[in-house]
Chains A and B, each alone.
Chain A
Amino acid sequence: MLHVENLTAAIGDKQILKGLDLDVGAGEVHALMGPNGSGKSTFAHALAGRDGYDIGGTATLDGVDLLGMSPEARAAAGIFMGFQYPVEIPGVNNMYFLRTALNSVRRARGETEIGARDFLAVAKEAMELVEMKQDFLDRAVNAGFSGGEKKRNEILQMAVMQPRLAVLDETDSGLDIDALRIIAGGVNALRGPERSMIVITHYQRLLDYITPDFVHVLVDGRIVQSGDRTLALHLEDHGYADYVDADPSASPERPLAGASS
């Protein structure tokens, strides 16, 4: 479904992604792990369409080129990005925002817009998923939300938007264990045969709750290792030291790509 080949991204002289290859099939959940500064967030933003990067290579969703599209067109094509730092938007009502977002992608897809009453039913179901109360919808988008509330609001948006591919950028960062459980529960409920996910995380902890089909290690702008979830457990024990400042071929203790032990 998602095909990424030799993807590069630079800001000015600084090359961040240096030829990233990744294929994500329908219904698969891929975890993308890596040390700080390895390019994880840049990869997410490159898929979502943030301005300011010099992008090279290929990224297609169901065969359609993503890289030439605006962020809103990518959303209409089915990309959803969960932000590591969700943006506070004072003065814009959360409910209004959600409905505008959903109707924008519906319009772009040639579907009919959803009315206020029908939307309320959609929103209610999504809110139950992330254990949010009604007053969340009445507040301004993320304004004054706690860290956990912001992250829950991201998953709420994902539940409303029903994307083809969700890219969740460090959705677990800054969460206590209860919030983590709620978020993971929401994400798991949204898994399905037609929906793929890329879960970007620093820690194995999230993967105790969201079981990935594949785990990739991103170091210095490239995926240097891929495997199943045991790779994440290995990283938990050994850290990223094996991959950083090291010649990949000189580290025999690492499991092989795709290894299942």
Chain B
Amino acid sequence: MSTAAVTSPLGAIELLDSVIRPTKRNETWRYAPHRQLDALTFGPSVAVDLPADLDEQIPALDGPRVVIVNGVVDRDRSDFATPDGLHVWSLADAAESQPGLADRHVDGAELVDAFTAYNLAYGTDGAVIVVDAGVDIATPIHVVDVALPGSVTNTSSTGVVIHIGAGSSATVVETRLGAGNDSGGSNVRTTITLGDDATLEHIVVQDLPANQVHLSRVDTVQGARSTLRTRSFNLGASYGRLAYHVELAGVGAHAELSGLFFGAGEQTLDQQITVVHRAKDCTSRQLFRGVLDDASTGVFNGGIDVCPGADGTDAEQSNDNLLLSNRAEVNTQPRLEILADEVACKHGATVGQLDDTALYYLRTRGINAEEARRLLINGFADEVVDDVSIETIRDWITRRLGHDHD
């Protein structure tokens, strides 16, 4: 696998010929459905119309919104009006007007896998969100990415760039959806930089249709004393992959990653997490929960890398899973590499089933078996859902999870 750095989208295109798609031998792609991945095709984005019924699926958030359909910004459905101190552009516009910002998204990107290369080459539109220094943005900023396979190539490529200035705070919601009967999917890459003392809550809700694939990679670099809170909801797609790479680059930075993967049917929901403690006295928390029904598969591959000199690191990781069927499976793997002194690292994983005694208890209170099951499952999932600060999103997720069991 090449890890060569590229300096421009053009460079990435030139590299594509030499890029090899991952196989089962690649540890981080071990449980992926490779036949489906091999069927994905990538190319320049082609604008298409969003089906009207999809509008209803999009969580209704007030405030700035960028809607991207098949890798191209849908201006009619987007709202670029922003309060002072906040700037929202399409990535294609920003490449012209803010070349420095757009370049940073591409420059020095590591070609960790073929899909990153495809994204660098073809993900030329998307969203750019910039918060100036010293500003608190109360309204969440919404980025909606919709896959609509059926054009020349079947997988869309989107880029999202987020920069939170020093001492500022903001909340960004990324909703990833899809439509249509054709197989294919979407490949979204988000790069986030947090200035010193900045705070970002970053929410990803992945709910593509069951015949599509979603690939997501979020790369984050944090300044000193900054706080990143990521909440990921891996719900849809036949294969939904949410990868996070978090660099704690400034002293005293804090990263808190929580996520829920909730699978049914034959879904594979894959979380690939790496938190790199590069500076001193940083803290990180990973809290992921999986609920797996039918013949679905969950993957949690969670890494904590403590670099030489990152003394005073305090890192924790937990992954708790609920298997609702004897055909469901979960593969959970912690990866810890500690090369510094005075480090506190904790990790733990559990796999369990619904508690029969709790089910019985609920039923003796008149609650029927199906409802009791749902109460217990939602109670387990709510541990993560409750982390989301935006009520509209919490309600959207709760409704979505409830609907699955009607």
Contact = CB atoms under 8 A, between A and B. Distances in A.
B382 A104 contact: no
Interface residues of A, number: 31
A213 to B, nearest CB: 25
Interface in A130-158: 140, 157
A86 interface: yes
B366 interface: yes
Contact of A161 (B357, B365, B376, B378): B365
A186 interface: no
Contacts of A50: 360
A162 to B, nearest CB: 12
A140 B375 CA distance: 12
A72 B383 contact: no
A88 B362 CA distance: 11
Contact of B382 (A72, A91, A105): A91
Given A50-B360, A83-B361, A97-B375, A90 B367 contact: no
Interface in B375-397: 375-376, 378-383
A90 B360 CA distance: 15
Interface string A77-92: 0011101001111111
B363 interface: yes
Given A97-B375, A100-B375, A140-B379, A89 B362 contact: yes
B379 A75 contact: no
Contacts of B364: 48-49, 71-72, 74-75, 79-81
B30 to A, nearest CB: 31
A70 interface: yes
Contact of B379 (A91, A105, A157): A91
A101 B366 contact: yes
A97 B382 CA distance: 14
Given A91-B378, A91-B382, A72 B358 contact: no
B371 interface: yes
Q: Among B356, B364, B372, find the residue whose CB has the most chain A CB atoms closer than 10 A.
A: B364
Contacts of B383: 90-91
A92 B365 contact: no
Contact of A97 (B356, B365, B369): B365
B181 interface: no
Contacts of B358: 87-89
Contacts of A76: 366
B290 to A, nearest CB: 15
A83 B357 CA distance: 11
A70 B357 contact: no
Contacts of A83: 361
Interface string B345-371: 000000000011110111111111101
Q: Among A74, A89, A90, A104, find the residue whose CB has the most chain B CB atoms closer than 10 A.
A: A89
A51 interface: yes
B143 to A, nearest CB: 29
A86 B379 CA distance: 17
Contacts of A71: 360, 363-364
A108 interface: yes
A72 B361 contact: no
A197 to B, nearest CB: 16
Contact of A104 (B356, B360, B371, B380): B371
Contact of A100 (B355, B357, B371): B371
Q: Among A81, A100, A105, find the residue whose CB has the most chain B CB atoms closer than 10 A.
A: A100
Contacts of B366: 72, 75-76, 101-102, 104-105, 108, 161
Interface in B255-303: none
A100 B363 CA distance: 11
B196 to A, nearest CB: 36
Given A72-B368, A100-B375, A104-B371, A49 B382 contact: no
A3 B102 CA distance: 79
A122 to B, nearest CB: 15
B367 A104 contact: yes
Contacts of A161: 365-366
Nearest to A45: B360
A130 to B, nearest CB: 16
Contacts of A70: 363, 368-369
Contacts of A88: 358
A90 B371 contact: no
18 contacts: A51-B356, A71-B360, A71-B363, A72-B363, A72-B367, A83-B361, A87-B357, A87-B358, A89-B361, A89-B362, A90-B380, A90-B383, A92-B375, A97-B375, A100-B367, A100-B371, A102-B366, A161-B366
Interface of B: 355-358, 360-369, 371-372, 375-376, 378-383
The 4 closest A-B pairs by CB, nearest first: A91-B379, A75-B366, A101-B365, A105-B366
Given A51-B356, A87-B357, A101-B366, 8 more contacts: A51-B360, A72-B367, A87-B355, A90-B383, A92-B379, A97-B375, A100-B371, A108-B366
